[in-house]
Chains A and B, each alone.
Chain A
Amino acid sequence: MKISFKFAATSALLLGISLATLGPAEALTRGGTLVYGRYADSLFVEPVLNDGNVDIWILSNIYDTLILPTDDGKGLQPGLATAWQVAPDGMSVTVTLREGTMFSDGSPITADDVKWSLDRARDPQKGIWNFLLESVGSVDIKDPKTIVLTLKHPDPAILSALSVFNTSIMPKKQFEAAAGADDAAKAKTFSEHPVGSGPFTIQSWNHGSEMKLVKNPHYWRKGEDGQPLPYLDGVTFEVIPDDATRILKVQSGELDGAEFIPFSRVEELKADDKLDMELFPSTKVAYGNLNVRPKLKDGSDNPLSNEKVRQALNYAADKDAIIAIVTHGVGTPMSSYMSAATPMHVGSGTEFPVDVEKAKSLMKEAGFDKGISFSCLVIAGNVDEIGIATALQQMWSEIGVKLNIEQVDNATLQAKYRAGDFSMRLGYWTDDIADPNEITSYFGYSPTIQAQHSGWKNDEFDKLYEASQKELDAKKRADEYARMQEIYKNGPIVPLYESPYPVVLKKSVKGFVQIPLGNNIFSAAHIEK
């Protein structure tokens, strides 16, 4: 059977429906600059070499990809490509490029730019995201409007990979003209004044303080009024690390919106009739990350290597209480290692409902009825982490577990974690791709990073993951993921909670969305007068 993805037709239909429901009376306001408060500034606005959500989550405003994730984070829609087709044997993908697209400097986007960008994104020597394009053997220009990706093996996630920020199409000539001896040096120069084809372009950037984006006049997408997007003339990011100040600035009208609102302030802001307190669905999960190697770095025996002990910890941890304490009730329990918003997620409710008696008997079965003691690394001064660790400390004391809370700074924590020199740390994760393969690769597939540096290794899990990476049958692949999620119940984590992205906006701000993958999408945002 020929596998064909006609997303263009589907999206045209959806656009038609949305236009019909909008009606002619609701005119959109164009113009104006939206001022948005961020908790931290971006660091390196470069699609291939970056490694941080502060960059990733705003990249799509500056750069465009061939395919775009849908607003629910699960599907795909046309970007710089209008159509794509996977060959019946799954060994190649033919991509049709959109006619007449341009970079923000007015130069045309050519097939050469696309090939160069994809080749750079899949280069194993460049950055950390090339694994998403591991299956690609070559990228070839068939004609000026057609690109063919020849694969080394069938890849069910290849289309999703073409919607990830690292496959952003960049201008080859402008990049190569940037000052610098090699690719890394050129990337540093180029990303100071990047040229992309996203809805906005960077006008000025004062690091740590303010980034001004202005409308890209050459952006290809059309708005609901039939005119090119974006509706706004610009977006200004103000960096305001202090939560209270960020909120005060929205309340005083100096900001149109702000991200990372502390959960403790959500109820209060919901009650403010001048503001919209948004809780955008996310793929964010919070968990305890356990070291399950038989011996710890200091040579001592590690009780957490025992599956029963890990199960006992899971049953003794009252997730609802933690959700109430840390997220003020905004979070939801995890029902799998992956979030409910991740494709192929299986499960509902709490994965391990609290059952202290069961936990006690599991500790007894494991031979640890006299109790155990281990440490949890937390970032010094991080209120959420200290709150979670303190709650777990109390809960686990009921089953004879003495949890020592060790506060260290992030660099120390990361170094210990990477070296496997820890018993437990607290981890957070958000997906970057509309596919479960990324989280699964890092959380469970041992060759990547030993399952979150835990030392956990399950041969069946590894084999299932490898098979799922080549499985084109959606049903079979979903079954493989269901089995992996089942196996992972004995894995190296204590699943805690999922939480949304808390964003506060003035009532006049419409059309902004933060999708479950975290991307801040300002292309359809507008300010009503």
Chain B
Amino acid sequence: MLNLGFVVRRLLQMIPTFVFILVVTFVIVRLLPGDPLSAQAGDRVTDAQVAHAQAELGLDQPMLVQFFLFVKHVLSGDLGRSYVVQIPVWRLIGQRLPPTLILTAMSTILGILIAVPLAFVAALRRDRVSDAAIRGTFQVGLSMPVFYIGLVLLTVFSAQLRWFPVGGYGDSMADHVYHLFLPSLTLAVSLAAVLMRNLRTAIIDVLNAEYVDFARAKGLMPRVIMIRHVLRNALISSVALLGPTIGTLLGGAVITESVFAIPGVGRLMIDSIYGRDYPVIQGLTLSLAVVVSLIFLATDLIQAALDPRVAQ
């Protein structure tokens, strides 16, 4: 059962996190060398034009005044306008966040689908050839650069076999899933590798636990033991691991987004940092913080469901 008190407590804990992120992002982007005008202005811009544009954007005002205005706007739901593409930040994020969210969700699902059965096989056949083969394969997958895995998948499955499109995002939900399959697989390889290793160790630990021996002694069916006792308990640490890993995926899918031409937030974040597009960096960081916090909340809730002591 959902513990409401636990959820409310966790939601309240998020508020200081968001305030901290707002302040830190605001200050850090302004401490970076260079400024939005220098970053974007071509060779033809004169110093007077730079000063004029700076005044127009309010960048000539003291930082405290800028921060006050920024907070005032955020509280009224206005994240500002991008300095680079001139459109409202919320609209830009609205365009770019869904591809990354779908990509992350698909990668996570694929990662779990790959990792869980293989972790079981590896754990149950511990130190045998199949265990070594599974672990070895993932070790190779984990050590291969993401862009290389992506390009190999693209060359084989898209360019040669023509099973998938060469990158892009598509127009409908079904199309998105079709377009994002290979990039999800690319990301799922490393995710599955981490999950598989963690889960394998956890399963081995649980298999040695006394309550499993007890269950066996009670004469429970092996399948029931595996699902109700082994998997449930082994998953607790893996679920905890999933939160930060998905968080990394959200912000760290830049290379995959580039190779597969996915218009996601990873690329937007990098472009915005290079372009010193302050409103976009701030808006995006805040949006990602909200998404990541919600993912952490979800993993906490799953953990609490698996192990009620977590909610205490």
* A interface residues, Cβ below 8 angstroms from B: 43-44, 51-53, 125, 128-129, 184, 188, 191-192, 206-210, 238-242, 244-246, 248-249, 251-252, 254, 408-416, 418, 427, 429, 438, 442, 448-449, 452
Total contacting residues, chain B, CB less than 8 A: 49
B139 to chain A, nearest CB (A): 26
Q: Which residues of B contact A408 (CB under 8 A)?
A: 33
Also in contact, A128 and B45, with CB within 8 A (given A248-B166, A411-B276): yes
Decide if B283 is an interface residue (CB 8 Å cutoff): no
Decide if B3 is an interface residue (CB 8 Å cutoff): no
Also in contact, A209 and B95, with CB within 8 A (given A242-B259, A248-B155): yes
The 4 closest A-B pairs by CB, nearest first: A411-B34, A209-B263, A411-B39, A240-B261
Do the beta carbons of A448 and B46 come within 8 Å of each other? yes
- Name the contact of A51 in the complex, choosing from B38, B45, B158, B261 (C-beta under 8 A): B45
- Name the contact of B39 in the complex, choosing from A239, A410, A452 (C-beta under 8 A): A410
- Name the contact of A252 in the complex, choosing from B86, B96, B166 (C-beta under 8 A): B166
Q: Which residues of A contact B287 (CB under 8 A)?
A: none
Can you give 9 contacting A-B residue pairs, CB < 8 Å? A207-B85, A207-B96, A209-B95, A251-B159, A254-B168, A409-B34, A411-B36, A414-B41, A418-B47
Do the beta carbons of B263 and A242 come within 8 Å of each other? no
A440 to chain B, nearest CB (A): 13
Interface segment among B126-134, B221-229, B267-275: the answer is B267-275
- Total of A-B residue pairs, C-beta within 8 Å: 134
Do the beta carbons of B166 and A249 come within 8 Å of each other? yes
Q: Which residues of A contact B32 (CB under 8 A)?
A: 411-412
Instruction: Give complex CA distance A429, B42 in Å.
Output: 10
Instruction: Give complex CA distance A252, B268 in Å.
Output: 27
Do the beta carbons of A128 and B84 come within 8 Å of each other? no
Do the beta carbons of A409 and B274 come within 8 Å of each other? yes
Known: A44-B85, A208-B263, A442-B44. 11 other contacts (CB 8 A): A208-B95, A241-B267, A248-B154, A248-B155, A248-B159, A249-B168, A249-B261, A252-B162, A254-B166, A411-B276, A418-B38
The B261-310 residues at the A interface (CB cut-off 8 A) are 261, 263, 267-268, 271, 274-276
- Name the contact of B87 in the complex, choosing from A192, A251, A418 (C-beta under 8 A): A192
Do the beta carbons of A245 and B39 come within 8 Å of each other? no
B158 to chain A, nearest CB (A): 6
Do the beta carbons of A410 and B166 come within 8 Å of each other? no
Instruction: Give complex CA distance A448, B43 in Å.
Output: 11
B265 to chain A, nearest CB (A): 10
Q: Which residues of B contact A442 (CB under 8 A)?
A: 43-44
* Closest Cβ neighbor of B92 among chain A residues: A207
* Closest Cβ neighbor of A240 among chain B residues: B261
Do the beta carbons of B167 and A206 come within 8 Å of each other? no
Q: Which residues of A contact B267 (CB under 8 A)?
A: 208, 241
- Name the contact of A209 in the complex, choosing from B35, B81, B159, B169 (C-beta under 8 A): B169
Decide if B165 is an interface residue (CB 8 Å cutoff): yes
Also in contact, A241 and B43, with CB within 8 A (given A206-B95, A207-B85, A411-B35): no
Instruction: Give complex CA distance A241, B47 in Å.
Output: 31
B44 to chain A, nearest CB (A): 5
Q: Which residues of B contact A429 (CB under 8 A)?
A: 43
B161-181 CB contact bits vs A (8 Å, 1 = yes)?
Answer: 010011111000000000000
* Closest Cβ neighbor of A447 among chain B residues: B46
The B47-73 residues at the A interface (CB cut-off 8 A) are 47, 49-50, 52, 56
Instruction: Give complex CA distance A245, B155 in Å.
Output: 9
Decide if B120 is an interface residue (CB 8 Å cutoff): no
Q: Which residues of B contact A208 (CB under 8 A)?
A: 95-96, 263, 267-268, 271
